Structure 1
Amino acid sequence: MSTPALRDYGHRMWMRHETALAQAIAADTGARGDDPACAALAHFALEALALARGRDDPRAAIDAAFDLLERGWQPPAPRAARASEQRPG
């Protein structure tokens, strides 16, 4: 990981599976082989590994990424809303 050229090469080798994964997702779900949602899902799933690198808890980062893939984005409540929920009523 300390050699940029090797790190980039490893990333390219990992990401070369993106099209095959997208096609497998499409086949599994009945989508068209060129469905952009399947391509995005494959890309995000493969990039989850890069997200985990350098984190204090890489497993938690991977879990968070795949939870997002499974359930979709759930934005956190705005700070003001969170603060009012914590005040005793």
Structure 2
Amino acid sequence: MAGLRERKKAQTRKRLADTAFTLFRERGFENVTVAEIADAAEVAVSTLFAYFPCKEALVFDAEDEYERALTAAVRDRAPGTSMLDALEAHLVPAAQPAPDGPSGEDFVELVKSTPALLEYAGRVRRHWEASLAATLAEEAGVPEGDLLTTTLARFVLEANFLATYGDHSPEDLKAVFDRLRHGWADFGTGTGQPVRGSGLGHHESDASNRDDQATVTQL
């Protein structure tokens, strides 16, 4: 019986999210009320708010699932795979949307064209950032709040956010990962080129620097 209830709840949640997205795409986010969404989905407004805390959350109904997938990409990476490589494989290219859900292009266009949704997307990213930073620290064997892992989580997710909503290509995002591996010392000098597979995540330092670089090599 519990399994049946959970399935019905999942179906109701999906119906609400799908209905909301269809209305938002047709009429614009600001031109659709929560009451109209509930009516179209044949539920009470109170039921809608039992599933979603605000109107913006209806667009980001899979955010918890994506957060779990993000941290799992690090925790479940293959032996010998750096955390940076695992994150690149997960984020570039972006995961494909479910066949029965809205297309990725429609989702991105709706968010980009709606300031309230773009701001909400930033809040979601910051929440993911905290989870990812904690996972990176755990996997690297350093205290939670470690500056290197916190910075890496912010850098990777901010780059992904900018690539997604800023008209950048997957190749642009790959270039960011390349630069994270290669380092920034020669950036802007015209002499250095990113080398895939080197730098952060595959660093080989001399013996005198190995202790200082311990966390870096684990990333």
Same fold (TM over 0.5): yes
Residue 150 of structure 2 is matched in structure 1 by 39
Alpha-carbon deviations, 1:22-64, whole Å to 9, x = none? Answer: 1111111112111011111000110112331213xx1111101
Per the normalisation by structure 2, the TM-score is 0.33
The answer to whether 1:14 aligns with 2:128 is no
Offset, 1:11: 1.8
Pairing partner for 1:71 from 182, 188, 192: 182
Which of the two has higher C-alpha Rg? Answer: 2
Q: How does 1:50-61 map to 2 (within 5 A)?
A: 50-52=161-163, 53-55=166-168, 58-61=169-172
Query: How far, CA to CA, are the matches of 1:19 and 1:10 in structure 2?
Result: 15
Per the normalisation by structure 1, the TM-score is 0.73
Moved more, 69-78 or 22-31: 69-78
Number of residue equivalences:
77
Runs of at least 5 residues in structure 2 that lack an aligned partner in the other structure: 1-111, 192-219
Runs of at least 5 residues in structure 1 that lack an aligned partner in the other structure: 82-89
Query: How far, CA to CA, are the matches of 1:70 and 1:22 in structure 2?
Result: 18
Give aligned-pair identity as a percent.
Answer: 35
Query: How far, CA to CA, are the matches of 2:177 and 2:188 in structure 1?
Result: 17
Contact 1:51 1:61 in 2 (8 A): no
Contact 1:22 1:42 in 2 (8 A): yes
Q: What residue identity is the alignment partner of 2:136? A: I
Contact 1:26 1:35 in 2 (8 A): yes
Question: Hey, which of these two has a bigger chunk of helix by percent?
Answer: 1
Offset, 1:69: 2.2
Residue 92 of structure 2 is matched in structure 1 by none
Query: How far, CA to CA, are the matches of 1:41 and 1:27 in structure 2?
Result: 14
Residue 87 of structure 1 is matched in structure 2 by none
Distance verdict in 2 for CA 1:51–1:10, change over 3 Å: closer
